[in-house]
Chain A
Amino acid sequence: MTVAPSRVEAAFPDALHGVSQDGIPYILLRPDQLVETVRRCRDELGYTRWVDVTAVDEPNVEPRFELQYLIHSLTEHRWLRLKTQTDDAVPSIVGVFPGANWYEREVFDLFGVVFDGHPNLTRLMMPDEWEGHPLRRDYVDANVEPVDFTVTREALGTGGGNELRG
C-alpha cells in the first residue's frame, strides 16, 4: 500500500502524482479529465470497486473545494485517490460508478458543489427547502437564534431578583 503504483503513473503521464501521508497514492486532475480518468482506472487498471467521494472546503484557497475520490483494486488490494479542485461544479461520474449517486448528492447537499450530468441532484441529508450548505467552513446557520444570557434588574422586576429566591 505504501509503494506508488508505477502502472497508474505510466497510464496518466501528464497528471500530477503523489502519495498522501496514509500511503495511498493520489492523482491531481483537472475537472474535465475526471470522468475519462475514472473510466480508464476502472477498465484498464482494475480499480473496479467504488469506495468514496467527499470534499474538503478551504474558503481562503482558490479554488476552494478539493474533491477526494477513492477507488479500490481487488486484484492489487490497493486504494487510489483522485483529487480535483473546483469552485462550483465538476462532471458527475455516476455513469461510471452508479454507487457515486448518493455520495455526489451528499457533497452537493452539504458543500454546494454541483455535479453536472447527475441524474437526480437533490438534497440527501437536509430537508429540500433548506438554505445553505452546512459543511462549508463559513456556513452560519440562520435558524439558530442567538440566546442572550445577560440578566438585568429591569428584566427581573423591582426586587432585583430577590422575589425569585423567595
Chain B
Amino acid sequence: MAIEAPRIKNTLHINMGPQHPSTHGVLRVELELDGELVVSCKPIIGYLHTGIEKTFESLTYVQGVTLTDRMDYLNPMGNNLAYCLSIEKLFECEVPERATVGRVLLAELTRINSHLVFVGTSGFDLGASSVFLYCLREREKLLDLFEWLTGQRMMTSHIRPGGLASDFEPDWLKATGEYLDSLPKCIDEYESLLTNNPLFKDRMIGVGVLKADDALAYGVTGPVLRASGVALDIRKTNPYIGYETYDFDAVVGQGGDCYARYKVRVAELREAVKIAQQALKRMPGGSVRTSNRKVMPPPREELGTSMESLIHHFKLFTEGIKPPAGEAYVPVESPRGELGFYIVSDGSGKPVRVHERAPTFANVQALPLMAEGGLIADLIAVIASVDPVMGEVDR
C-alpha cells in the first residue's frame, strides 16, 4: 500500500526593502517564497511618513504649496496644480488665459520629467543601464529649464493659487520649444534600446498581469489602469485647465502586464510632447496672475497710489488668503494617476484639513495582485512598472 508522503510546506520569509535599490525609495515588501516563487507578498509602508497632512494645518494656503512638491519629487508642478485648483474652486477664482496655458505646459513638462525617469529606471532595474543614462541626460536638460524659470530644479512651487509665481521669459519659451523639438528623436532612441529588445521583452511580457476589474476595485489609476484596458484619463473624461482644446490621444494599452504599462508610458511621453508644443504655440499675452485681490497680492506699483491695494497687501501677508468655508476636491491626471487634494476650509487663513488622494497609494496597495504567483525576479519588474513614489504614499 502506497503511503502518501506528507507534503512539507517549506517556505522562506524574507524582507525586500525598505532599503533596497529596486524598491524606488523606502517600500518594504514582506515576501513568502517557495523557492523562486512568490507565495505571498505584503507591501509595508510608512517609512517615509513625515506628517505632511498635519503640517498643512499649521501653514497658510500659499505656504502649503511648497509641501505639495515634496510629496512627489518627480511631479512637482502637477501636485502644485492639483492643490491650487482645489483652492481656486473654493474661491471661484478666474485664472488668466496665459497662466492656464502655462499650467498645461508646465504640467506636461513635469509629466515628461516623470516618465523619463520611469523609462530610465525600469530599464535600469532589469539591467539595461545605458538607457538610464540617456533618460537622465534629457531629464537634466529639463531640470535646467525648471531652474531657469523658477530658481529651483526639483521643488519648483511655481504654480500658485491664482496663477503662476512669475511670468515666462521669451528666451525660456524659445529654449523650451527647442528642447521639445529634440525629444521625439530621443524617445526613438530609448525605444530602439528597449521596446524590441528580446531580453527586455522576456522580462516584461506576461509578467505582473492586473485585471481591469481588480484594478477598479482597488482604486488603481493612471498608466497602470490604462494598461489594463480601461480608458480613464481625467484630462479626457473631465477636462480641466482647458485640456479639451488640445489635440492628443488618451493612450490605452492591453494585456495589463508590465510591458503594457511600459508601452503606455512611452506613448504618453510622445503625447505629452505634443500637448506641450501646442501650449507653446498658443501661449497668449497678458498677466499670469489673477486680478482677484483676495487670492493674489496687487502689483508693487499699485501700493503707492491705492489705499485698497495697500490693505489687501497687508492682509494677505499677515493673515494669508482665506478661502470661503467649504470643501473642494479637484482631481487631475498626474503621471501616476488620479491625484487630488481634498481641502476643507472654515474661512480662516489656515486649512482645517488637507488630504491628498495619492495615486501611488492605491497602486502600491494592488502590488500583491500583480506579484503573487510570479517569480521573485519578476517582482523587480512589477515594482518598476508601477512607478511608485513613496513620498506621496506615506505623506
Contact = CB atoms under 8 A, between A and B. Distances in A.
B380 interface: no
B330 A50 contact: no
A102 B328 CA distance: 23
Given A52-B342, A58-B352, A124-B45, A134 B54 contact: yes
A103 B45 CA distance: 12
A22 B45 contact: no
Which of B57, B232, B328, B342 has the most CB atoms of chain A within a 10 A radius of its CB?
B342
Interface stretch (A3-11, A84-92, A93-101, A151-159): A93-101
A45 B54 CA distance: 35
A68 B357 CA distance: 12
A68 B355 CA distance: 11
Interface string A49-90: 111101011100000000010100010010101000000000
Interface stretch (B26-34, B159-167, B215-223): B215-223
A77 B357 contact: no
B216 A56 contact: no
A135 interface: yes
Contacts of A1: 238
Interface residues of B, number: 40
B361 A102 contact: yes
Contacts of A56: 327, 344, 352-353
A99 B89 contact: no
B365 A102 contact: yes
Which of B45, B344, B355, B395 has the most CB atoms of chain A within a 10 A radius of its CB?
B355
B58 to A, nearest CB: 11
Interface in B315-358: 324, 326-331, 338, 340, 342, 344, 352-353, 355, 357
Given A21-B89, A70-B329, A126 B362 contact: no
A68 B344 CA distance: 11
A48 interface: yes
A70 B365 contact: no
Given A126-B46, A135-B53, A49 B216 contact: yes
A24 interface: yes
A134 B361 contact: no
A21 B53 contact: no
B354 to A, nearest CB: 10
A30 B98 CA distance: 46
B22 interface: no
B230 interface: yes
Contact of A50 (B90, B216, B238, B353): B216
Contacts of B338: 51
Contacts of B220: 99
B206 to A, nearest CB: 24
Nearest to B361: A102
A99 B342 contact: no
A99 B353 contact: no
B201 interface: no
A16 interface: no
Contact of B217 (A24, A99, A102): A99
B329 A24 contact: yes
A14 to B, nearest CB: 23
Contacts of A137: 57
Contacts of A127: 46
Nearest to B340: A52
B219 A49 contact: yes
A77 B46 contact: no
Contacts of B355: 52, 54
Nearest to A57: B353
Contacts of B352: 56, 58
16 contacts: A1-B238, A20-B328, A22-B86, A48-B216, A50-B219, A52-B355, A52-B357, A54-B353, A70-B342, A70-B357, A98-B217, A99-B218, A102-B365, A125-B395, A134-B51, A135-B53
- In the A-B complex, the 9 residue pairs with the closest CB atoms: A21-B326, A99-B218, A50-B219, A99-B219, A22-B328, A125-B49, A77-B237, A54-B355, A125-B46
Interface of B: 45-46, 49, 51, 53-54, 57, 86, 89-90, 216-220, 230, 232, 237-238, 324, 326-331, 338, 340, 342, 344, 352-353, 355, 357, 361-362, 365-366, 394-395
